[in-house]
Structure 1
């Protein structure tokens, strides 16, 4: 099994986890509304859980946007209609993003380590679980870049296929 195939499995698992995170956030918010307005007894944990799920959803969604090249970008170079220039600028962007991810990944590992013994206010989760969302996103972006390089380039994603992947 090649690296690209293993990476495709990882991508599918992470996308499935993203759907699960979103569903859990919707359930937590819905439960909060139901308990507050129907039972007049607000849940103390639902707001914190929804917040932490939203943080993870945001980070994983940032990776999805990177994977599909949907981030905001300066596309002035693409108007030159030069595939060679497009390839070089894409590679430069990937090198810069990879460097940034690796640099910040080291810092995020330190933060995760420091906050492991710090519990959250209500759920008493280790705060490292919350802060690990950034580490996961940086690892996924790094993996996407490296697998793209190892497999000989990345496939271009047509805008109409984006909805079918998520």
Structure 2
């Protein structure tokens, strides 16, 4: 049950990431077209694309964590001891989980401060821009907890799967 529920949350987050990238691409393209073809720049598209880029960055950080694609020091991996590798992975996950939970909670102070602050051009409440961090921290923490509860392991490293020919 928890795996299916979390799978739906992950799917919705991936769809949101795709929509943010598509919208950002359309806005940047429209900005260029309006500026150079119509000689009339769109005043709102740069700000909107910037805020979408913030969300894309945070959601991509979660996606990289999900696939364990972040830059890492693989010293323990090269020792060749599977038990030590599992222990090391759990320690890293525990540190990342603690950091995500701490920053998720403390970010609420920033969100409270920005509830009434509006963006310069769009008038968008800035809380929506800064909420991207909380979504990322929630998704990474959720990934770790769901994997611990269900016993699922991260996907294998794609570099390891390639066999030398």
Decide: shared fold, TM above 0.5.
Answer: yes
Listed as ranges, the gaps of 5+ residues in structure 1 are 161-166
Q: Does 1:89 align with 2:88?
A: yes
Q: Does 1:117 align with 2:116?
A: yes
Structure 1 consecutive aligned stretches of length 4 or more whose deviation exceeds 3 Å: none
Q: Which residue in the other structure is 2:162 paired with? A: none
Q: Does 1:10 align with 2:38?
A: no
Q: Which residue in the other structure is 1:68 paired with? A: 67
Q: CA deviation at 1:26?
A: 0.3
Q: CA deviation at 1:53?
A: 0.2
* Alignment partners' CA distance in 2, 1:153 and 1:47: 41
Q: CA deviation at 1:159?
A: 2.4
Query: Match of 1:117, SS?
Result: coil
TM-score if structure 1 supplies the norm length?
A: 0.93
Assess if the C-alpha contact under 8 Å between 2:93 and 2:144 holds in 1: yes
* Alignment partners' CA distance in 2, 1:18 and 1:6: 19
Q: Which residue in the other structure is 1:163 paired with? A: none
TM-score if structure 2 supplies the norm length?
A: 0.93
Q: Deviations over 1:104-144 (max 9, x none)?
A: 11121111111010000000000000000000000000000
- C-alpha RMSD of matched pairs (Å): 1.1
Q: Deviations over 1:24-52 (max 9, x none)?
A: 00000001001000110101000000000
Q: CA deviation at 1:92?
A: 0.1
* Alignment partners' CA distance in 1, 2:110 and 2:52: 19
| Worse-matched range after superposition: 64-73 or 104-113 | 104-113
Assess if the C-alpha contact under 8 Å between 2:66 and 2:154 holds in 1: no
Assess if the C-alpha contact under 8 Å between 2:17 and 2:59 holds in 1: yes
* Alignment partners' CA distance in 1, 2:80 and 2:117: 53
* Alignment partners' CA distance in 1, 2:153 and 2:40: 51
| Worse-matched range after superposition: 107-116 or 58-67 | 107-116
